[in-house]
Structure 1
């Protein structure tokens, strides 16, 4: 609800108070908030994202860090490939990249919003092919769909040409946010959708995290106030060599055989895992955390199932210190390197 306030309406109330007009408004807003009549003001959040060509290494260490004696097998024959990635920037000059957490791997910048916000995403295509940003979950009009270029009303945002830019407007309404049985924040995918069957495999994937209205840490920080840490995992098999086994990279966030690092937490922390998947019919994954359990929409488990384009968010309070495995429990996926480790430090 938006309150239109005129100071003159309350002049008689304040006539004996030494308070300026602005002060009267602030006092009234304070009273409204005190009695539960106030409501958070929606924000417009701007992001600057560029698509760029890079060289990606699936195992920077050159080693199998899960079972060193086994080596990398056929999957280590070639480790570096040309890829396309989304990068976040500080502003529209596209000079200073935003720093990504180490665990993000190949993922694009994480976009955040609270229910009621609007996302303005400025996209610059710095590559050699038309690309886009297509979001899941949020509300948009046809011009901001980022897909289906041949349809009426699509516009340039459906296929941004090389060297060009476009600003997407995505509204985070109630239907974009957590449902009644969801935790206080949920995850949505975004990805390029010009030739969508190719572009996720190129590496053009990222996530949007939406927090329930009233549960953001602050107006500036829309992350949820009831968790201490949030991690994101993309389980996906990248096909680099037209189906040849050596090119089927079974990854977590674009890394294989324990080469993804940075999942560090401690006993007693409130940790939320956002789990997503993309790919083909082989991308049916059973995500398993060793030594801990998660709460999955009221169900206690230590395995979460995901299919291509699945998105789910689960909660954990680590209770056992150690350096633990996180992996897909499908046998041939484990064998091909879809594993990493995450560290739980002793609590203070």
Structure 2
């Protein structure tokens, strides 16, 4: 082949590829169907203290079960088939996912006996999709009614320059915000950096093998009575949260969030491993009410490890579980 001709063909291919690469990835509208429902919830379904069996559940086990309000995900608008969730998600509502540039369209049905809403942190929205502040169509959805929220994952909702490839935001009801997270109406949104998703249909980050979420929160069930102060990880106490399991050498991202009151100041500690917290190597991450952080780990030691709050009173009251690293 003539060298000039070959050079022209090579140049043309490079030009076409350059033009193709310059086009932005197609933004996606990701739809979710979520209902608020009243459900039975047991903070210690085993009936035992699985961290220190000899200590028992103490006053925190005297009444382990309560009626809670929860966000339940469904496969479509018939609200007939609930979405399956990993056991480790506990009381949390469905985890919503998007890539920077995507739109989340969240169809919310209130199946409870009180007005509720869905308010997202971090996302771009108008007043009708704020889900708060008494203004806009979605600020207070009456019992039996529905509303569709439109939330945009713009660049300011996505990871910043020092963040990992995905970050976490909270969503919760905000009609009476001082009450409704305590009822159990809490979930998370994970936003992946543009260009880092596994595929167009899977917005999870491709540089991570597994992602876990942990909500550290004290649920006040009996107006401050000690036995009703449930010191939980994802709504479970004393090791009753199961399912955190990974393998040696896997790339694991932990999304850690908190909500609650002035007592919800938590020092989240992993035994046996360390995490990278925005460039800082540590094994303890601090969270306050309504704070959110995402940290990375590559497990280096197999075993069944403690995962708990390091505040002494919180540990004693059951804010602990175990997670497993397989060889």
TM-score normalized with structure 2 length:
0.95
Mapping of residues 163-174 of structure 1, within 5 Å? 163-174=144-155
1:130 alignment counterpart: 115
Confirm whether residue 90 of structure 1 aligns to residue 75 of structure 2.
Answer: yes
Q: Pick one of 199, 206, 215 that aligns with 1:225.
A: 206
Provide the residue aligned with 1:340 in structure 2. Answer: 321
Distance 1:159 1:33, change over 3 A: farther
Q: CA deviation at 1:36?
A: 3.1
Deviation readout 1:75-94 (Å, 9 max, x if unpaired): 00000001000011000000
Deviations 1:135-190 (A, max 9, x none): 000000000000011x4xx12x1000000000000010000000000000000000
SS at match of 1:82: strand
Matches within 5 A, 1:167-186: 167-186=148-167
Q: How many residues align?
A: 316
The reply to whether residue 214 of structure 1 matches residue 195 of structure 2 is yes
Q: Which residue of 2 aligns with 1:69?
A: 54
| Alignment-derived partner of residue 247 in structure 1 | 228
Aligned counterparts of 2:120 and 2:18: Cα–Cα separation in 1: 34
| Structure 1 counterpart of 2:184 | 203
SS in 2 for 1:315: strand
Residue in structure 2 matching 1:293, options 269, 274, 279? 274
Residues of 2 paired with 1:206 and 1:180: CA distance? 25
Q: Secondary structure at the match of 2:21?
A: coil
1:302 aligns with 2:283: yes
Instruction: Confirm whether residue 112 of structure 1 aligns to residue 97 of structure 2.
Output: yes
Mapped partners of 1:222, 1:335: distance in 2? 39
Task: Report SS of the residue matched to 1:160.
Answer: coil
> 3-state DSSP class of the match of 2:22?
coil
Match of 1:319, SS state, is coil
- Matched with 1:100 is 85
Counterpart of 1:14 in structure 2 is none
Contact 1:232/1:274 (<8 A) preserved: yes
Kindly indicate whether residue 192 of structure 2 is the aligned counterpart of residue 192 of structure 1: no
Offset, 1:37: 1.6
1:250, CA displacement in angstroms? 0.1
Q: In 2, Cα distance between the equivalents of 1:259 and 1:226?
A: 30
Picking from 319, 325, 331, the partner of 2:300 is 319
Following superposition, the deviation at residue 35 of structure 1 comes to: 6.2
**TM-fit CA distance, 1:31:** 2.8
Task: Give the Å deviation of 1:38.
Answer: 2.7
Q: Where does residue 45 of structure 2 map in the other structure? A: 60
Q: SS at 1:246's partner residue?
A: helix
Does residue 48 of the first structure (1) align with residue 33 of the second (2)? yes
Offset of residue 39 of structure 1: 2.1
| Structure 1 runs not aligned, ≥5 long | 1-26
1:80 aligned residue (35, 41, 65): 65
Contact 1:288 1:328 (8 Å CA) reproduced = yes
Give the SS at the match of 1:36.
Answer: helix
Query: Alpha-carbon deviations, 1:7-30, whole Å to 9, x = none?
Result: xxxxxxxxxxxxxxxxxxxx99x9
Residue equivalent to 1:121: 106
CA distance change for structure 1 residues 76 and 170 in 2, over 3 Å: closer, same or farther? same
Q: Secondary structure at the match of 1:225?
A: coil
Any gaps of 5 or more consecutive residues in structure 2? 1-11
Alignment of 1:32-47 (within 5 A): 32=17, 36-47=21-32
